Amino acid sequence: MSATIVLILRLLLVISLYAFIAWALITIWRDQRQQALLLASRRVPTLRLRVEEGETEKAQSFDKAEVLVGRDATCDFVLENETVSLHHARLVYHHNQWWVEDLQSTNGTFLNDERVYMQTVLISNDELRCGKVYINVTFG
């Protein structure tokens, strides 16, 4: 009698242990899937770059998190101006912000006429200057 009760309890003991483990693993798996979906659906605010002077006048919008600016044709935002280096500057999105970073360009990168030495946060309607080219930055 006592042995049968204990046998049933022992069975439940194993079940409860593995229920704990299974519950933990299932919720971890669910959580990870949800985070993956969340990350996939997280949109980078559209970055709009506009140059309004003379022959280099152009405007372009970007949906990705990293934008390379320079004279080289492989850059995302190409500036046909001899004061602009081949790979001049980089705009990246992280920590919920757009950041600008100078890529050791010859003539320097300036944000609202301040030289950029390290990664600096951008806000909408900032004025970015690469060499002698002024770029208007907006996003939203």
Partner 1 sequence: MKLPFSLAPTPRDQLQGRLLSLAAVFLLLFSAILTLSPAVRVHGWNTSLRWEHWIGFLVWVAGFAFLHIQSIRWLPDRDPYMLPVMALICGWGLLTIYRLIPEFGFRQTVWLALSVGVIWAGMRFQVVLQMLRRYKYLLLVGGLLLTAATIVFGTYPGGQGPRLWLGCCGYYFQPSEPLKLLLVIYLAAYLADRLPTVFTLSEHLAPTVILVGTAALLLAAQRDLGTAILLVSIYTLIVYIASGRRRILIIAAVIMLVISVAGYFAFDVIRVRVNAWLNPWIDASGRSYQIVQSLIALASGSVFGTGPGLGSPGLVPLSHSDFITAAIAEETGFLGLSGLLVLYALLVSRGMLTALHARSNYRRYLAAGVSVLFAVQSLLIISGNIRLLPLTGVTLPLVSYGGSSLLTASFAFALLLVCSAHGEEEPAPLSQARSFTLVNSGILAGIFLVSLAAGWWAFFQSGVLQARPDNPRRFIADRYSPRGPIFDRQNNPIVLTEGQRGELTRNTVYPLLGNVTGYSNLLYGRAGLEASLNDYLRGLDGTPSSSIMTHQLLYNQPPAGLAVRLSLDLDYQQRLDNLLGDRVGAAVVLNARTGEILALASHPSYDPNQLEELWPQLVQDPDSPLLNRSSQGMYPLGGAIGPFILARVLATTDLPALPAQLSYQAGDQVLTCSGPVSDPPTWSSALVNSCPAALVAASRSISSSQFQDLHRQLGFYTAPEIEMPAAPPSAAQTPASAALAAVGQTELRVSPLQLALAAATISNQGVRPPARLVLAVQTPTEGWVVRPGGQSTSVFTQEGVAETALLLANPDIPIWETVATARTEQGTITWYLAGTLPNWLGSPLSLALVLEEDNPEAAREIGLNVFRTALPSE
Instruction: Report the interface residues with partner 1, using CB under 8 A.
Output: 2-7, 9-10, 12-14, 16-21, 23-25, 27-28, 94-96
CB atoms within 10 A of CB 138: 17
Nearer of residues 15 and 59 to partner 1, judged by Cβ: 15
Nearer of residues 24 and 59 to partner 1, judged by Cβ: 24
SS3 labels along 10-25: HHHHHHHHHHHHHHHH
Nearer of residues 34 and 112 to partner 1, judged by Cβ: 34
* DSSP letter (8 states) at residue 56: G
Work out how close the CB of 99 gets to partner 1 at its nearest, in angstroms, rounded to a whole number: 12
Work out how close the CB of 134 gets to partner 1 at its nearest, in angstroms, rounded to a whole number: 31
Sheet with 126-130: list strands edge to edge: 58-62, 47-51, 133-139, 126-130, 109-111, 114-115
Q: Are 65 and 47 in contact (CB under 8 A)?
A: no
Work out how close the CB of 7 gets to partner 1 at its nearest, in angstroms, rounded to a whole number: 6
Q: Are 67 and 76 in contact (CB under 8 A)?
A: yes
Work out how close the CB of 5 gets to partner 1 at its nearest, in angstroms, rounded to a whole number: 7
Nearer of residues 37 and 59 to partner 1, judged by Cβ: 37
